[in-house]
Structure 1
Amino acid sequence: MRDDLGADVPLAGPARRIVSLVPSLTEAIAASAPDRLVGATDWCTHPADLDVARVRGTKNPDLAAIRTLSPDLVVANQEENRELDVRRLREAGVAVWVTRIETVEEALASMARLFTEALDLADPAWLARAWSLWATPAPRRLSVAVPIWRDPWMVVGTSTYTDDLLTRAGLVNVLAHLDGRYPTVTPAAVDRAGADVVLLPDEPYVFTADDGPEAFATPTRLVSGRLLTWYGPAMVEACAMLAAIDG
């Protein structure tokens, strides 16, 4: 058994005690096999009633606490988690499955593999629904820019799950040509890029009506950061949210 990066995952059978270091994967597992999830990060906020042991953050997980939970699998992500933590867990004899997700198709395929190979479960209903909703890209209809941080201002760039999600929803990311996956820009540069609308998510930076819109001459919309960046059940909700965005 190998993860998305081709690393061996030494599982003797279906994973039944899982620690998730990725909020979106936590939600996906909790929605499909809640009895198997025994630990998650402090940032794992969905579902709201999630009642499992907490193992600190995605970038600074408590490795000792994870080992104490005796998981037969830890799930991680190449972008969200540190290779050092993954290596230390593996050196301690803990099986780790690392996902690599930069497109909608990769998200769907990666989660399907995780459920069928590591958990020995059929695709959950939400995953089948997500496959159906995102199978056919929508026609291009609007151009957008998506800041994700301020001080410094950073935006969604190319080779990211969010960029591909926007494209499939018919929204053209006007800053995808910049170098880097999350390039640093100025609000003036965002305005000059000519987007129809600037989407301001509530995570990782919490943009609000009083914090963010004032920086841009371009019209802005406050949107759910979870629906823009989380793969999993959020993909079903994201389709309707993005379809409702207009200029």
Structure 2
Amino acid sequence: MRVVSLVPSLTEAVTLTLPGALVGATDWCTHPEGLDVARVGGSKYPDLDRVLALRPDLVLLNVEENRRADADALVAAGVPVRVTYPRTVDEALTELADLLRELGAPAEPEWLLAARRAWATLPASPPPRRAVVPVWRRPWVVLGADTFAGDVLRRLGVTNLYADDPERYPRPSLDELRAREPELVVLPDEPYRFTAEDGPEAFPGVPCALLSGRHLTWYGPSLAAAPAVLSAQLADPVVRPG
């Protein structure tokens, strides 16, 4: 089967599980390192002519990563698509297992079994911390309800103060974020690249945890290491003077 992936998480999952199946990926598909397949542009604006030229048997997409218009265009061109949309860790594990089985994997790969074990045997977390989770700046955008990353953080003892917001990605002002009086600010390095110099200064006196975006938002082989990586980063926040 010839597969094109427009989702970095799934690019890594398919490549490690079924070497040779993947024939194309986006420019943002950075894992596994050294990936040598045709590149088809970005996740939001792929070059569909390049995708079609690869004669894929299946194109992998995600509701949040990709545009509905591109999925519709591929279907109209006669190309089968598989659209993923996990909103919890359990849903991600199930969707991955189903996808890999349908692509011809004879059994669940070791990385997926390791991910199941890692999330089933989480160490005791500290008392829940009330947090805001910005994912963009200028304007500020935060995690709201019903997101995969939100479920990851919940399992690690982080209570998202916007988890009951009607929007999945609310856009509060900085004053509104501060008014929530978070005990913790979670700053992933993607999609916006928050750093120790860009982010914590907006929340003086509040601990700011700088997290690996790949381990927070990717649903693939990184899931196996995510609990340990993220727990360590949550335990080592940056605090700017108040």
TM-score computed with the length of structure 1 as normaliser: 0.88
* Letter paired with 1:58: S
Change (3 A) 1:67 1:58: same
Identity %: 51
**Structure 2 CA distance, aligned partners of 1:69 and 1:105?**
33
Query: Is 1:149–1:205's contact at 8 Å kept on the other side of the alignment?
Result: yes
SS across alignment from 2:13: helix
**Structure 2 CA distance, aligned partners of 1:188 and 1:239?**
31
Shift of 1:141: 3.2
Q: Does 1:228 align with 2:213?
A: no
**C-alpha distance after superposition, 1:56-100 (max 9, x if no partner):** 011111111011111111111122111111111111111111112
Within a 5 Å distance, the mapping from 1:114-129 to structure 2 comes to: 114-129=99-114
Query: Is 1:23–1:41's contact at 8 Å kept on the other side of the alignment?
Result: yes
**Structure 1 CA distance, aligned partners of 2:73 and 2:5?**
16
Q: Which residue of structure 2 aligns with residue 240 of structure 1?
A: 228
Q: Which residue of structure 2 aligns with residue 161 of structure 1?
A: 148
Query: Is 1:174–1:194's contact at 8 Å kept on the other side of the alignment?
Result: no
Query: Is 1:20–1:76's contact at 8 Å kept on the other side of the alignment?
Result: yes
Query: Is 1:145–1:197's contact at 8 Å kept on the other side of the alignment?
Result: yes
Count matched residues.
232
TM-score computed with the length of structure 2 as normaliser: 0.90
**Structure 1 CA distance, aligned partners of 2:71 and 2:104?**
20
Q: Does 1:202 align with 2:196?
A: no
Within a 5 Å distance, the mapping from 1:88-103 to structure 2 comes to: 88-103=73-88
**Structure 2 CA distance, aligned partners of 1:18 and 1:39?**
7
**C-alpha distance after superposition, 1:166-196 (max 9, x if no partner):** 1112221122122311111123322332332
Of residues 181-190 and 197-206 in structure 1, the stretch that sits farther from structure 2 once superposed is 181-190
What residue ranges of structure 1 are gaps of 5+ in the alignment? 1-15
Shift of 1:120: 4.0
**Structure 1 CA distance, aligned partners of 2:27 and 2:121?**
35
Q: Which residue of structure 2 aligns with residue 53 of structure 1?
A: 38
Shift of 1:142: 2.5
**Structure 1 CA distance, aligned partners of 2:115 and 2:202?**
35
**Structure 2 CA distance, aligned partners of 1:85 and 1:121?**
31
Shift of 1:162: 0.4
Q: Does 1:20 align with 2:9?
A: no
Shift of 1:29: 1.1
Of residues 194-203 and 102-111 in structure 1, the stretch that sits farther from structure 2 once superposed is 194-203
What residue ranges of structure 2 are gaps of 5+ in the alignment? 238-242
Of residues 95-104 and 140-149 in structure 1, the stretch that sits farther from structure 2 once superposed is 140-149
**Structure 1 CA distance, aligned partners of 2:218 and 2:4?**
18
**Structure 2 CA distance, aligned partners of 1:106 and 1:79?**
15
**Structure 1 CA distance, aligned partners of 2:196 and 2:156?**
24
**Structure 1 CA distance, aligned partners of 2:153 and 2:113?**
20
SS across alignment from 2:20: helix
**Structure 2 CA distance, aligned partners of 1:193 and 1:237?**
31
**C-alpha distance after superposition, 1:111-154 (max 9, x if no partner):** 11001123343111111111122236765533322111011001
**Structure 2 CA distance, aligned partners of 1:230 and 1:71?**
23
The RMSD of aligned alpha carbons is 1.6
Query: Is 2:212–2:230's contact at 8 Å kept on the other side of the alignment?
Result: no
Q: Which residue of structure 1 aligns with residue 240 of structure 2?
A: none
Q: Which residue of structure 2 aligns with residue 192 of structure 1?
A: 179
Q: Which residue of structure 1 aligns with residue 69 of structure 2?
A: 84
Equivalent of 2:116, from 119, 123, 131?
A: 131
